[in-house]
C-alpha cells in the first residue's frame, strides 16, 4: 500500500478521532474512561495500524471543559503526538491538528516537513479555523 493512500484512494476511509485527549469523546466520570496517556495511544496506534484502520485524527484543545467529568482536561500535543506515532507504525496516516489562531504557519510548515520525513509521507494536517468559546484563549 502506498504511503499516500489517503490522498489517492477514492474508497471510503475509516479513522479514529481524538485519542490524544482524556475521555476521548465520552463525557463520563467512569474510572475506565480513555486516559489519553502515551502508552495507551501507542497501543491503540499499533493495533489500528495492524488491523487496517486508515488514519488517526487528534484534537487540539487548549483547555478542558471542567465540571464533574473534567472532559478533555488533558490533551497530548497533536503535532508531537502524530510524529511520535509515525515512528512506531508502518502504514497508517496520522494527522496533526492545528488552530490557525495559535499556530504560526511557518512553524507548522517546518514541523510538518520534519514529520513528513519521519513518517515517509504518512502525516496529515487538520486545520481548525474556529471553535467554541471554551477552546479560545482570550488575551487582554
pLDDT per residue over 72-81, tens digit each?
A: 677 889 999 9
Q: Is 120 part of a structural domain of the chain?
A: yes
Q: Is 138 part of a structural domain of the chain?
A: no
Q: Is 46 part of a structural domain of the chain?
A: yes
At a CB cut-off of 8 Å and minimum separation 6, what does 4 contact? 121
Q: How many structural domains does the chain have?
A: 1
Which stretches within 13-104 are classed as H helix? 38-51, 78-88
Q: Is 140 part of a structural domain of the chain?
A: no
Q: Is 43 part of a structural domain of the chain?
A: yes
CA separation for the pair 41, 34 (Å, rounded): 10
Residue 75, CA distances (Å) to 7, 15, 89, 90 in order: 27, 19, 21, 24
Q: Is 3 part of a structural domain of the chain?
A: no
Mean pLDDT, rounded, for 53-79:
80
Q: Is 2 part of a structural domain of the chain?
A: no
Residue 126 pLDDT more than 60? Answer: yes
* Domain that residue 111 falls in: 17-131
pLDDT in tens, 29-57: 778 877 788 999 999 999 999 999 999 99
Q: Is 91 part of a structural domain of the chain?
A: yes
Amino acid at each position: 500500500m502506498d504511503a499516500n493512500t489517503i490522498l489517492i484512494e477514492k474508497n471510503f476511509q475509516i479513522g479514529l478521532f481524538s485519542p490524544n485527549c482524556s475521555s476521548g469523546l465520552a463525557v463520563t466520570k467512569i474510572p475506565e474512561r480513555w486516559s489519553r496517556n502515551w502508552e495507551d495511544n501507542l497501543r491503540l496506534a499499533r493495533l489500528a495500524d495492524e488491523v487496517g484502520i486508515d488514519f488517526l485524527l487528534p484534537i487540539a484543545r487548549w483547555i478542558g471543559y471542567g465540571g464533574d467529568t473534567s472532559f478533555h482536561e488533558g490533551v497530548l500535543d497533536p503535532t508531537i503526538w502524530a510524529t511520535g506515532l509515525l515512528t512506531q507504525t508502518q502504514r497508517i496516516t496520522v494527522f496533526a491538528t492545528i488552530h490557525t489562531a495559535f499556530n504560526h504557519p511557518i512553524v507548522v510548515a517546518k514541523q510538518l516537513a520534519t514529520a513528513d520525513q519521519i513518517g515517509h509521507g504518512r502525516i496529515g494536517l487538520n486545520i481548525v479555523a474556529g471553535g467554541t468559546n471554551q477552546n479560545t484563549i482570550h488575551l487582554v
